[in-house]
Amino acid sequence: MKFLCLSEALTEGASLGFEHDGIRVFAVRRDAKVYVYKNRCPHRGVPLEWQPDQFLDPSASLIQCATHAALFLIESGECVAGPCAGKFLTALECREDNQGIWMTPEESEDDV
């Protein structure tokens, strides 16, 4: 497991970007749960954020690709609007404990 950040650094309804071993990832906290994805749009393979740590749409209810405005569900990474509808972001396993937020660098088996 790779350490990402202290728990308090990722507030409710917020997102943060990270880079570990040359792999760009981001984390989102929603309903007190943390989700971690590779920072790569399935449509063009480009990073998702429009500014550092800005991965969410204006309502903070969906992940949004800055390049072509594709929208993804936070809980599953599924694209629900845009040119890659039906595709998924690459989810990474993560956990949170009293030390902070951790991720497993390899892809989870549930990736589509």
How is the beta sheet containing 2-5 ordered, strand by strand?
2-5, 100-107, 91-97, 33-38, 23-30, 15-20
Q: What is the pLDDT of residues 44-64, one digit of tens each?
A: 889 999 899 999 999 999 999
Asked if 82 and 71 count as a contact pair (C-beta separation under 8 A), the reply is yes
This prediction's pTM: 0.91
Say what the pLDDT of residue 21 is. 85
For residue 107, the tally of other CB atoms under 10 A from its CB is: 12
> Domain 2-107 belongs to what topology?
Rieske Iron-sulfur Protein (2.102.10)
